[in-house]
Amino acid sequence: MDQIRRLVVIVLFEDVDLLDVTGPPEVFALLRREMDGDPGYQVALAAETLDPVTTSAGVRVLPDLTFEDAARHRIDTLLVPGSVEVDHRRQVHALVDPRVVARIKQLAGQSRRIASVCVGAHLLAAAGLLDGKRATTHWSTAQQLAADHPAVEVDPDPIFIRQGDVWTGAGLTACLDLSLALVSEDFGEAAALAVARQLVMYLKRPSGQSQFSVPLETGSTSRRMDALRLHISQNLTRPLSVAELATHSSIGERHLNRLFRDELGTTPGAYVESVRLEAARSRLETTDDTLDRVAGLCGFKTTDTLIRVFRRRLNTTPTEYRNRFRRTVSL
């Protein structure tokens, strides 16, 4: 392996998230195809022993080398995936094994750059590699990361963040965006866009794009709330007032407000606005619709209302948002 130009070592441990492990190698493998056989990267999975590692999905993965073996090589990129548990309240918690943290510290000293995938940021933070740095992680564990590591500036919004030679990525499929960014740094934008096309990704999202999505924010809810959320998403052009939503659900307005507060932690009006905003963001990213049309289709009464919501919620305008995130993949 010493002859390989870019050795990528992915850390393996029991109950690791499977997609965190398999996503980046897919990107690197497609790069090899796009570069007509140039190796580009050599990916190696490292674990404490060479015994199979069982991932959180129940799929067993075979390590290529032990941590001790990996420490003998010059590592180009150390990739650190994560693992979570869900408690009886369905709250997600990142898991941090001190033994894995110790190995990450060891391998970090042999690595040109380090990147965490999803909640792997918790392991980097525990290893002291994020102190004084801005970092991201999956939105569901961002508060935990901030509470456990006050020396880290946690920003739960971007899909990935680069701070010098340390990168942190957001949740799950954002590992593809992070990997594409690494490819872009190493081999150029054209190569990264070619891989994105092979992955059938509409665009290679820049690091500043938000990982937040309203439908993903809420977690598990009751059947009545699930039905309400579906009704809202399918009827954005209707008024969707508290009175209308209460009538649709055959409950009183006070009961409706209590449901939203208890299950979603927000008010009906704020939730409806969030869903409309998410729909508008999607149309701005994926269509050439005028602002008038976007506003109308997403339930905003006027373009001025759309602009005000964007300024208040995202600190930008719809036009600025489109200019930043509306990308066309062309080679």
Question: Residue 202: pLDDT above 80?
Answer: no
Per-residue pLDDT, averaged over 57-72, amounts to: 97
pLDDT band for position 331 (cuts 50, 70, 90):
very low
190 or 243, which is more confident: 243
Pair of tokens at residue 42: 């050599």
Per-residue pLDDT, averaged over 20-31, amounts to: 93
pLDDT band for position 329 (cuts 50, 70, 90):
very low
Please report where in the chains the tokens 């909640």 appear, as a residue: 119
Neighbours of 223 (CB within 10 A): 7
147-188 residue pLDDT tens = 999 999 998 878 889 999 999 998 777 888 899 889 988 988
pLDDT band for position 3 (cuts 50, 70, 90):
very low
Per-residue pLDDT, averaged over 185-199, amounts to: 83
What integer pLDDT is reported at residue 330 of this predicted model?
38
Residue 104: enclosing H or E segment and its boundaries? helix 98-108
Domain with CATH 1.10.10.60 in the chain: 214-325
30-45 residue pLDDT tens = 998 888 767 689 999 9
Mean pLDDT of the chain: 88
Pair of tokens at residue 322: 């489109």
Question: Residue 226: pLDDT above 90?
Answer: no
What integer pLDDT is reported at residue 208 of this predicted model?
54
Domain with CATH 3.40.50.880 in the chain: 7-198
CB proximity list for 317: less than 8 A, separation 6 or greater: 307, 310, 311
In contact, 277 and 310? CB cutoff 8 Å: yes
d(CA 282, CA 276): 10
107-134 residue pLDDT tens = 999 999 999 999 999 999 999 999 999 9
d(CA 122, CA 130): 9
d(CA 16, CA 53): 9
Q: How far is CA 240 from the centre of its chain?
A: 30
- Taking CA atoms, 254 is separated from 184, 238, 242, 330, in Å, by 53, 21, 9, 52
pLDDT band for position 1 (cuts 50, 70, 90):
very low
CA angle 26, 182, 156 (to 5 degrees): 95
Q: Between 3.40.190.290, 3.30.413.10, 1.10.10.10, 3.40.50.880, what CATH number should domain 7-198 receive?
A: 3.40.50.880
CATH code that applies to domain 214-325? 1.10.10.60
What integer pLDDT is reported at residue 321 of this predicted model?
82
Report the half-sphere exposure of 207 (CA within 13 A, side-chain side): 18
d(CA 122, CA 95): 8
Catalytic residue among 61, 118, 264, 277: 118
**Closest by Cα among 133, 135, 137, 131 to 117:** 137
Active site residue 298: no
**Closest by Cα among 281, 255, 57 to 172:** 57
